[in-house]
Amino acid sequence: MNANTLNFSGGPGVLPESVLAATQQAIAEVPGVGLSILGISHRSAWFAEVVAETERNIRQLLKLPDSHAVLFLQGGATLQFSMVPMLLLRGSGKTAEYLRTGYWSSKAIPEALLEGDVRIAWDGQPEAFHRLPTDGELALANDAAYLHYVSNETVEGLQFHGIPGHDGVTRVCDMSSDFLSRPFDPERFDLIYAHAQKNLGPAGVTIVIVRRSLLEHVPDGLPALLDYRAHLAANSIYNTPPVFAIYVVLLATRWLLDEIGGLEKMAAINQGKAAALYQAIDASQGFYRGWAAPANRSLMNVVFKLATPELEAAFLAESAQHGFSGLGGHRSLGGIRASIYNAMTPQAVGLLRDFMQAFAARHGA
């Protein structure tokens, strides 16, 4: 195990070793092209095919129908907090509904308020974001501009294991930290966005999957770069795109298809990894305190606390001595967060579980 394999960072996250090796090769010289990936024109036929193959791979992984377009944009997930309400809320006279389930969904709401009316359809903050709503708790309007939610709250480690809301309403989802970690039915979504740097590649590119019919009613006066139609018409090469980041996402989608064998297999691996860590938490008799309610536990971010800040500091220091990194909780929450994205291996997760058990034994569980 090298330092990269034991990197439990919340993001940018770990990438598969084969992807890192191919990336290293591409920085020197892309096979068959003879140039560095950092110096290849985005207007070359080669790069157009990189974009096209990445889209094909995503379509194949998700069984995505042609009713939905795939775009590669910049500005991170954060720009989507604005682009979504610019498209769907501005001038609509309607209200957008947001599920406020943690740090990231909370960040999306002020941006939507700049464009129109927002209703917080469920608010987890009074309970300090320890759980997600049940279907029965959601009283959603039929005439909302759209419903926005975050499928995996990366900071708190809360993940929806079903799809909230009714299918009559326009459903928008931020999947930044669990996109391509499991299969789902794309037809139940109208707009999905996910930046690459948690599960799929380096920072710099954000994947947007949008139902084409949504783009028939775009408000006037949007800057071209903030208008999805401009990117669609230009096959995501409207201006200079992040060539390098898109290439690494291509390599990651090839890895998912060829080495992992698709999203069902990826999901089974991810379930096994998460189960190992949650079992260690549950078996620790309160030494480790899981943050998320058990029904809402994330398969991507395992968040827990120890009894005191001193014990948490000791956990981080000793884990670092054993070669682990990235285990400190998000600055807004503290505690410990083990991010176990697609590329985190079961072997590395097993080592972390062993470390957790040994640490608990040493420190009095």
Ligand X SMILES: *Cc1c(COP(=O)(O)O)cnc(C)c1O
Active centre residues (catalytic): 104, 174, 198
3-state secondary structure the chain: CCHHHHECCCCCCCCCHHHHHHHHHHHHCCCCCCCCHHHCCCCCHHHHHHHHHHHHHHHHHHCCCCCEEEEEECCHHHHHHHHHHHHHCCCCCCEEEEEECCHHHHHHHHHHHCCCEEEEEEECHHHCCCCCCCHHHCCCCCCCCEEEEECEECCCCEECCCCCCCCCCCEEEECCCCCCCCCCCHHHCCEEEEECCCCCCCCCCEEEEEEHHHHHCCCCCCCHHHCHHHHHHCCCCCCCCCHHHHHHHHHHHHHHHHHHCCHHHHHHHHHHHHHHHHHHHHCCCCCCEECCCHHHECCCEEEEECCCHHHHHHHHHHHHHCCCECCECCCCCCCEEEECCCCCCHHHHHHHHHHHHHHHHHCCC
Q: What is the CB-side half-sphere exposure of residue 121 using CA atoms within 13 A? A: 25
Q: Is 242 in the site for ligand X (CB under 6 A)?
A: no
Of 40 and 173, which has the nearer Cβ to ligand X?
173
Nearest distance, CB of residue 154 and ligand X, angstroms:
3
Answer for which of 8, 72, 98, 104 binds ligand X (CB under 6 A) is 104
Nearest distance, CB of residue 202 and ligand X, angstroms:
11
Q: Is 150 in the site for ligand X (CB under 6 A)?
A: yes
Question: Which range binds ligand X by CB under 6 A, 171-179, 225-233, 270-278, 348-356?
Answer: 171-179
What are the two backbone dihedrals, phi and then psi, of residue 303, each rounded to the nearest 5 degrees?
-110, 130
Answer for which of 177, 199, 236, 253 binds ligand X (CB under 6 A) is 177
Answer for which of 7, 8, 9, 11 binds ligand X (CB under 6 A) is 11
Binding-residue pattern over the window 182 to 211 for ligand X, x denoting contact by CB under 6 A: -------------x--x-------------
Q: Count residues near ligand X (CB under 6 A).
A: 12
Of 10 and 16, which has the nearer Cβ to ligand X?
10
Question: Which range binds ligand X by CB under 6 A, 45-53, 115-123, 174-182, 349-357?
Answer: 174-182
Nearest distance, CB of residue 159 and ligand X, angstroms:
10
Q: Is 181 in the site for ligand X (CB under 6 A)?
A: no
Answer for which of 92, 101, 154, 270 binds ligand X (CB under 6 A) is 154
Of 40 and 155, which has the nearer Cβ to ligand X?
155
Stretch 40-79 residues interacting with ligand X (CB under 6 A): 76-78
Q: Is 342 in the site for ligand X (CB under 6 A)?
A: no
Answer for which of 174, 190, 227, 312 binds ligand X (CB under 6 A) is 174
Q: Is 160 in the site for ligand X (CB under 6 A)?
A: no
Q: Is 176 in the site for ligand X (CB under 6 A)?
A: yes
Handedness of CA 258, 260, 263, 264 (dihedral sign): positive
Angle 205-190-57 from CA coordinates, rounded to 5°: 50
Of 92 and 101, which has the nearer Cβ to ligand X?
101
Of 115 and 174, which has the nearer Cβ to ligand X?
174
Indicate the residue whose CB is closest to ligand X. Answer: 76
Positions touching ligand X (CB under 6 A) are: 11, 76-78, 104, 150, 154, 174, 176-177, 195, 198
